[in-house]
């Protein structure tokens, strides 16, 4: 019986490929161009931010090994204009979900959430998607456009 000798460098390459074959690699999401914001959104609304609720929770975005926490924002908007979509009315208060990573241990690359995020009193234009549960989320990463 003849034994085939494999050089160590090839052996380590093969093992590395086998280990990382099922691992997905994520990176930060690039800002969308205006035409893509319009195209991908279900709704485009403008209004004034009247409230923001923040909470910290275990990340539902990052599921790899480690300690991962996100800051979840529920932005309440008083709608003054509807540019796209049906079902949202002027003067209606809608809640928009947004998020940002709060903690990543070990630090890993990945989506960095929504940027920019408005403050209470800001006038904004928001590019929204309607989720399966009927709630609204701003498009990632730049679904909020602050127009003060």
Q: Where are the alpha helices (DSSP H) in the chain?
A: 8-20, 34-40
> Has residue 15 been placed in a domain?
no
> Has residue 6 been placed in a domain?
no
pLDDT at 19 over 60: no
Contact 91, 79 (CB under 8 A): yes
Give pLDDT, residue 21: 46
Identify the domain containing residue 84 by its residue range: 29-146
> Has residue 107 been placed in a domain?
yes
Q: What is the pTM of this model?
A: 0.78
> Has residue 10 been placed in a domain?
no
> Has residue 51 been placed in a domain?
yes
> Has residue 81 been placed in a domain?
yes
> Has residue 12 been placed in a domain?
no
Tally of CA atoms within 13 A in the half-sphere of 139 that contains its CB: 24
Give pLDDT, residue 138: 97
User: In this predicted model, what pLDDT tens digit does every residue of 46-91 receive, in sequence order?
Assistant: 999 999 999 999 999 888 889 999 999 999 999 999 999 999 999 9
Total structural domains in the chain? 1
137: CATH = 2.40.50.120
> Has residue 23 been placed in a domain?
no
Confidence of residue 135 (pLDDT cuts 50, 70, 90): very high
Query: Which of the two residues, 31 and 74, has the higher pLDDT score?
Result: 74
Token pair belonging to 1: 């019986």
Query: Average pLDDT in the 21-44 region?
Result: 80
Give pLDDT, residue 9: 64
User: In this predicted model, what pLDDT tens digit does every residue of 92-129 receive, in sequence order?
Assistant: 999 999 999 999 998 888 788 999 999 999 999 999 99
């Amino acid at each position: 019986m003849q034994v085939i000798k494999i050089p160590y460098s090839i052996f380590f390459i093969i093992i590395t490929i086998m280990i990382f074959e099922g691992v997905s690699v994520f990176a930060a999401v690039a800002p969308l161009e205006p035409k893509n914001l319009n195209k991908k959104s279900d709704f485009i609304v403008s209004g004034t931010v009247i409230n923001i609720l923040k909470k910290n929770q275990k990340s539902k975005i990052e599921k790899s090994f480690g300690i991962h926490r996100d800051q979840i924002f529920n932005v309440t908007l008083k709608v003054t204009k509807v540019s796209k979509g049906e079902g949202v009315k002027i003067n209606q208060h809608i809640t928009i979900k947004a998020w940002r990573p709060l903690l990543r241990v070990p630090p890993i690359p990945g989506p960095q959430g929504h940027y920019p995020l408005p403050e209470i009193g800001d006038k904004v234009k928001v590019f929204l998607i309607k989720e399966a549960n009927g709630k609204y989320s701003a498009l990632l990463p730049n679904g909020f456009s602050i127009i003060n």
